[in-house]
Amino acid sequence: MKIFKYIALACMSLGLCACESYLDVGVPKDEVASGLAFSDDKVATASVTGVYARMNQLNYQFANVLSMVLPAMEADEFAYAAQYAAYDEYKNNAVLPSNQFLGTLWSQPYQYIAQANMCLEGLEASTAISPQVKSQLIGEAKFLRAFCYFYLVNNFGAVPLILGTNVSENNVKGRTPEDEVYTAIIDDLKDAKAKLFDGYPSGTDVDATGERIRPNKGAATALLARTYLYAGKPDLAEIEATEVINNPLYKLLPTTAMDDVFLKNSEEAIWQIQAVNTAGGRNTWEGFLIIPANLETGTALFRLIPNYLYDAFESGDERHEHWVGKITTAAGVTHKYPYKYKARFGVTPVAEYTMVLRLGEQYLIRAEARYNQGKYAEAEDDINTVRQRAGLSLLSLGNDADAVREAVEQERRVELFAEWGHRWYDLRRWPSVNGTAGKTRADDILPALKPGWQSNAIYLPLPQEATMSNPNL
């Protein structure tokens, strides 16, 4: 499906190449050719969907590799196989404001937020777009804005909340408290859910059966479930996750199809980012970076950490068999690496897209939400659903709250590893179980792996360029 046919036109009309400051959250309104960008359904659709291509056009971007490898190294999942100062800062949880990747984690979400804000203003003002297309596109723009703020607030804590296109105000805005950012994310997702359709859009057909590469009502519901969980609203998280789980569009693939979970348009996929730079048969940037060039004699650049993720899987766990790769050196040393994506290069037609939201996470969101409400038996049911798919025996934990909590943590660890920083965000948001007030699970676990660990490392510093360009940060 060619959803990006009008991208170049839309991007030019929105002035997206203009960068006047490091926090580039918009261009002056007189530079936005709104009559061109929102003059009909096709061009308006391209104005919104163009952001998906920008997200995945190049390697080492916020929306692909960086949101996989950097938080995994901040946590206890895997590390780079060689010494590289920029990576080592994340591995050691000692990231400097000058880190070469830090600016991308900050600036790119704000660029996508800028496009969402401009599109929202243009869509609301346009009278040339059909009502259904307008509803879908407003929903997508609000979903994208919420998605970007979710990662900004979890990486940096309090961040500027930019909801308009006034550059003079935006470029000097200070940091907004986390709870206010979460409120804005929830508001956007509730509105997106109300405006999006059940199907997956294809061009201007907003309720189609297209590829799962544009957000639909299910995607907004799934991200809302996660956001409610992170925001300490487990009852609401349970409701939203249940809605996704009961949606017939989605199902967990069976144990015999573990290798198919991350294929494009997998039935488990709720939202994926389409592969757009496929030269030489490249599929995902994650697969291109992580998978060794030679599966027999190559070198794994990112290796699971021994005594941590390396050894976290139970015997017989099919996730270890299918989602962890193994390379044995000539000296007989085996290295393990993430292998959820199977296509590195030379695979045509494209078989894999970057997975962003999937059904397995929704079961674990609901399990944690139920645990937080004291619904231990129901939480156990969700945990066992995920375990059963992985080929493991079912648990029988009764009303043992500690055992249920440990099971939630374990299943999230081995189900969601190497996906969008789940393990890192879990460690930084969960309270310590050692009885120390104000500490997190990161404080419980990481000091043994990282002798220089400090509790304030649960937040990244703001990039040097950002604080230099905006003193109010």
pLDDT tens string 351-398: 999 999 999 999 999 999 999 999 999 999 999 999 999 999 999 999
pLDDT of residue 391: 98
Burial class (CB within 10 angstroms; exposed 0-12, middle 13-18, buried 19+) of 60 = middle
What average pLDDT does this structure show over 205-214? 96
**pLDDT score for 298:** 86
Which whole number is the average pLDDT over 55-59? 95
pLDDT of res. 35: 56
Q: What are phi and psi of 302, to 5 degrees?
A: -120, 120
Task: Please name the residue that has the structure tokens 């199902």.
Answer: 251
Q: Is the pLDDT of residue 32 over 50?
A: no
Rounded mean pLDDT of 165-185? 96
Cα dihedral 307, 308, 314, 316 sign? negative
Residue 201 domain flag: yes
Range of the domain at 186: 41-275+354-444
Angstrom distance (rounded) from CA 461 to CA 230: 21
Q: How many Cβ atoms from other residues are within 10 Å of residue 362's Cβ?
A: 28
Predicted confidence band of residue 435 (pLDDT cuts 50, 70, 90)? confident
Q: Which CATH number covers residue 99?
A: 1.25.40.390
Peptide linkage before 349 cis (omega within 30 of 0): yes
Other C-beta atoms closer than 10 Å to the C-beta of 163 total: 15
Count structural domains, the chain.
1
Beta bridge partners of residue 263, listed in sequence order = 352
Q: 338, 285, 212, 361: which is closest to 62 by C-alpha?
A: 285
pLDDT top residue among 370 and 13: 370
What pLDDT, in 10s, does the model give residues 331-346? 888 999 999 999 999 9
pLDDT at 28 over 80: no
Structure confidence at residue 297 (pLDDT): 80
Round to whole Å and give the CA distance between 253 and 389.
8
Q: Per-residue pLDDT for 12 more than 80?
A: no
**How many residues in total does the chain contain?**
473
Report the run of H or E that residue 109 belongs to, with start and end: helix 102-125
pLDDT at 99 over 60: yes
Per-residue pLDDT at 36: 67
Q: Per-residue pLDDT for 29 more than 70?
A: no
CA–CA distance, 390 with 433 (Å, rounded to integer): 27
Look at residue 24 and tell me whether its pLDDT is greater than 90.
no
- Phi then psi for 468, rounded to 5 degrees? -70, -35
Distance separating alpha carbons of residues 468 and 464, to the nearest angstrom:
6
Instruction: Say if CB 49 and CB 43 are below 8 A apart.
Output: no
User: Cα Rg for the chain, rounded, in angstroms?
Assistant: 22
Q: Where are the alpha helices (DSSP H) in 15-99?
A: 34-37, 41-56, 66-74, 85-91
Domain contains 185: yes
Asked if residue 434 is part of any domain, the answer here is yes
pLDDT band at 427 (very low <50, low <70, confident <90, very high): very high
Identify whether 112 is part of a domain.
yes
SS3 at position 16: coil
- What would the two tokens of residue 350 be? 């494209």
Residues pairing with 338 in the sheet: 324
Quote the CA–CA distance of 306 and 351 in Å, as a whole number: 31
**Secondary structure E strands in 246-311:** 269-273, 302-304
Residue 329 falls within a domain, yes or no?
Answer: no
Considering the domain boundaries, does residue 236 fall inside one?
yes
Query: Among 126-130, 280-284, 433-437, whose mean pLDDT is lowest?
Result: 433-437
Task: Please name which of 269, 252, 388 lies closest in space to residue 380, comparing C-alpha atoms.
Answer: 388
- What whole-number distance in Å separates Cα of residue 293 and Cα of residue 135? 45
Whether the CB-CB separation of 59 and 289 falls below 8 Å is answered with yes
DSSP-derived pairing of the beta strands 78-80 and 302-304: antiparallel
Token pair listed for 204 = 């201007």
Q: How far is CA 55 from CA 82, 261, 292, in A?
A: 28, 22, 24
Residue 402 lies in a domain: yes
Q: In this predicted structure, what is the pLDDT of residue 237? A: 99
Q: Output the CA torsion sign for 362, 364, 368, 373.
A: positive
For tokens 């569009």, the residue is 249
Confidence (pLDDT) at 25: 39
Encoded tokens for 145: 């804005």
pLDDT band at 304 (very low <50, low <70, confident <90, very high): very high
Query: Helix-strand-coil percent breakdown of the chain, rounded to 5?
Result: 50, 10, 40
* Predicted pLDDT at 30: 34
121 lies in a domain? yes
pLDDT for residue 64:
96
Give the tens place of pLDDT for each residue, 210-256.
999 999 999 999 999 999 999 999 999 999 999 999 999 999 999 99
pLDDT digits (tens, 9 = 90+) for 253-288: 999 999 999 999 999 999 999 999 999 999 999 999
Q: What is the DSSP letter of 392?
A: P
